A and B are shown apart, each in its own frame.
Chain A
Amino acid sequence: MRITQTQENLLIKCAEYLTPGQVVSLGFGLPGELPMALAGKYPYVFLTSSGLVGDWENAGSPSDFIDGNKNHVKLRPGSSVLGFGERASLITGGYVEAVVIEPKSLDRQGRWTPVSSDVGDLLSLMNHSERLIGLLELENQSDKFVDSLSEDVCSPREMDKIITDMCVLSVTDQGLIVDEIRKDYDANDIKNKLGADVLISESCRFYDPLSFNKGGNSKISKVYKNGRSAVSDISDGSVVMIDGFAGPGGMAHYLLVSLRDQGAKNLTIISNTAGIARVVNFGTPPGKLVIDHSILIDNGQVGKAIASYPVSPSASNPSSFELAYRAGEVDLELVPQGTLAERLRAGGAGVKCFYTPTGAGTLIAEGKNAYNLDGKEYVEESGLIADYCIIRGYKADRFGNVVYKGTSRNFNSVMAPAAKISIVEVDEIVDDGALNPELIVTPGVFVDRIVVRPSDFSPYE
């Protein structure tokens, strides 16, 4: 889609109301041209209806990647592609900060109707985003601005800001209010377009559309210099998701040591096992012990575990958690492994509860709501979220996009969206563009902090 200079200025003004590094969902039409207008100069993360996440420019020739406006685009490094299932989870999981829409029409009270291309996603975006920004060209498209729209065709949620080619508006109980006026116009021009009773804010100021330079040269990097700095703010009582299976693979050993050294107490850990790799000894050199969750338990840091396999497979060789549990020092919530994976996935996708047949009619179902569908019994289980997760990846880029190695993937990828702060330990940070956008397993949107495991660090002690 070709845009005019006026439209480009409007988009640059809109960028002032977006937060660099946060996800911006682009509606059909003018919003879809934001990446082109901003030309990669600012570190925004755009999301399209077609499944693109990141930033891009016009391809100039047919491409495998199409945006919501059917532009063929060339992805900038750090971008990835989502299937519609994953895209839905990203939205309902609350990862979209701002939604930018070009409404079909807008009235004096600030009510608006969507264009047909935007209707499909509207409900989720309205329910799960922080900020809704509208774009409107008053000079060329004044027919979009009407006196009054009937309530039943309007969107249930008002816009937080409306950026026009002449001014910036907010919506109040008394209708539209002008916050800023573009330098070439004055209050009378605005009143001519929007009506004499449009309110002008007391702090209304004039702006020059091209003077914006927000974070112009700042580059996103989520890399922390060491494990200790990445876990420094984990406070007592935090809920921490930790990955790992029965062997040494897939565990963030370096971050576990950092967390032990940091000493936060009374943690609730959510994990597949509660530390059995250390007693199973799989792949461990003789005379050594592998680092796992046990180091936190031995250090008296754990108050509770939510886990699917909390005990050692051998009764004569109990794990640290098992001993602590028998001594009454820690609590346990037992969750079947599939249910645990699904509870994590649900937490990351904004699902409050789901209904699974697993455990129906057994001890697992006690105290939980049951649900019958077509003669089959289901148990109600809730989504899990955590304050932090400490997980293990293979390679990451500075945007937080992560790929995994083999079966070390296990719970790592599903934990990332479910934690408010996701901390990933990787073998290396790769250059921009080194990760194939189609093969990124955990998009950077879900990752907050990355730490490189030191090459001389050993997972055995």
Chain B
Amino acid sequence: MPVDKLFNSPQEALACLSDGQVIGVSGFEGQGEPIALLRELSKMNIQKLTLLFDFPTSISSEGSSVLYDLCLSGRVQEVITCNRASEYVGVSSELVDKVKLTFVERNLLAEQLRVIGAGLGSVEFVRPSENAMRYEGIRLDVALIKGFQSDHLGNTVYQGTSRNWSPVMAMAARITIAESDSYVEPGVIDPEGIITPGIYINRIVCVNS
């Protein structure tokens, strides 16, 4: 039976989400956010989530405001991010009361995700930093990423700097759900130009068919 990872709607694609999961969401300063998936996530009644995303310096994009509201709604118990989110202007003190904010430096966080994608346990860097020397991988149960074009096998490419977290989160998650701008037939994307091979992606939703 041929592999077909295409789902008809965000609702169907996100049906595998459940309480207590660690969910990574791609995006950086408003670029590369899987907005349709986030809109659907905000409607779902799942609890005790840990979200991992790059908290933007201002809550101005649609994706970031959906994530922010989700955090305030009580369904999220922890946010792992690479910014000192609680110190931002416009971030209410309610956020600190409702959610445990864990700060991990961005490049270290990227490496901890990649380590899981590469099947390793942990890493130690050449130069020491303020925290413990050995860093263990951070495994995501689910990654919600934003692609530009995907085929039904899951091969995905990205658009410009929207790429940001998507490739490494796709490697680190048990289930990767990609929201792509468009669907293409297998073979349209040059094999040498595939940035995320389909093996890393489990479900695809195309927003502009």
Stretch binding the partner chain, chosen from A120-128, A165-173, A308-316: A120-128
Q: Is the CB of A406 within 8 A of B192?
A: yes
* Minimum CB–CB distance for A108 against chain B, Å: 25
Of residues A50, A70, A373, which shows the largest number of chain B Cβ atoms within 10 Å of its Cβ?
A50
Which A residues touch B82, using CB under 8 A? 120-121
The CA-CA distance from A355 to B137 in the complex, in Å, is 10
The CA-CA distance from A156 to B165 in the complex, in Å, is 28
* Minimum CB–CB distance for A368 against chain B, Å: 13
Given A50-B31, A122-B105, A378-B121 contact (CB < 8 Å): yes
Given A119-B83, A123-B105, A439-B193, A371-B160 contact (CB < 8 Å): no
Q: Is the CB of A81 within 8 A of B54?
A: no
Q: Is the CB of A354 within 8 A of B120?
A: yes
The CA-CA distance from A357 to B122 in the complex, in Å, is 11
Given A64-B160, A373-B121, A120-B83 contact (CB < 8 Å): yes
Given A92-B107, A116-B88, A438-B115 contact (CB < 8 Å): no
Residue B72, interface by CB 8 Å = no
Given A52-B161, A116-B84, A438-B157, A66-B29 contact (CB < 8 Å): yes
Q: Is the CB of A356 within 8 A of B162?
A: no
The CA-CA distance from A252 to B165 in the complex, in Å, is 34
The CA-CA distance from A66 to B130 in the complex, in Å, is 31
Q: Mark B166-178, 1 if CB is under 8 A from A, else 0.
A: 1110010000000
Residue B78, interface by CB 8 Å = no
Size bin of chain B's contact surface: 35 or more
Size bin of chain A's contact surface: 35 or more
Q: Is the CB of B168 within 8 A of A120?
A: no
Partner of A51, one of B123, B124, B164: B164
Stretch binding the partner chain, chosen from A179-187, A191-199, A342-350: A342-350
Stretch binding the partner chain, chosen from A83-91, A239-247, A446-454: A83-91
Q: Is the CB of B163 within 8 A of A51?
A: yes
* Minimum CB–CB distance for B110 against chain A, Å: 4
Residue B159, interface by CB 8 Å = yes
The CA-CA distance from A37 to B113 in the complex, in Å, is 36
Residue B126, interface by CB 8 Å = yes
Q: Is the CB of B119 within 8 A of A438?
A: no
Residue B108, interface by CB 8 Å = yes
The CA-CA distance from A156 to B130 in the complex, in Å, is 10
Which A residues touch B167, using CB under 8 A? 83-86
Can you list 6 pairs linking A and B with CB atoms under 8 Å apart?
A49-B28, A92-B125, A116-B57, A123-B108, A124-B108, A438-B158
Which 5 residue pairs of A and B lie closest in terms of their CB atoms, listed nearest first? A64-B160, A85-B168, A88-B107, A88-B110, A355-B121
